Amino acid sequence: MLFNFKDRKRGLQIIQNGPLNVRGNLVNLRLWMEGESVFEVDHDFMEFWIQVHGIPLDHMNKETGILIGGMLGVLAEAEDPKVNGILRRSFLRIRVSINITKALPTDF
């Protein structure tokens, strides 16, 4: 299925804030480059925001998020759970591009 956004900026915003869920189904949106065949667009990877719970307090930092994100797939972003040295949430939040054709790792 092809989607065409008249407003490129809005389309990019939707892709960046994804993934989309339509009626219980994930929608993997990708940019289609000019001159590229529909069959050349890679849909094997999808970006997800992931919450990592159960991390010891002394490891609740961006560096731990970067490490875990790299173990799951290709890290796109790792948020720092602290602001001015104060923990603002009880979990790490990372955005990772994951190969959706393979199973997730079960342990580290």
Owning domain of residue 66: 44-108
Whether residues 101 and 57 fall in one domain: yes
Whether residues 29 and 57 fall in one domain: no
pLDDT at 51 over 90: yes
pLDDT band (50, 70, 90) for residue 80? very high
pLDDT at 105 over 80: no
Whether residues 62 and 97 fall in one domain: yes
Q: Does 13 or 77 have the greater pLDDT score? A: 77
Q: What is the mean pLDDT of the chain?
A: 87
Residues 12-41 have pLDDT tens digits of 887 777 777 788 887 777 777 788 887 887
pLDDT band (50, 70, 90) for residue 69? very high
Kind and range of the H or E run holding 42: none
CA distances from residue 57 to 53, 81, 87, 92, 107 in whole angstroms, order as listed? 11, 11, 9, 11, 20
In 10 A of CB 4, how many CB atoms? 6
What's the number of domains the chain is made of? 2
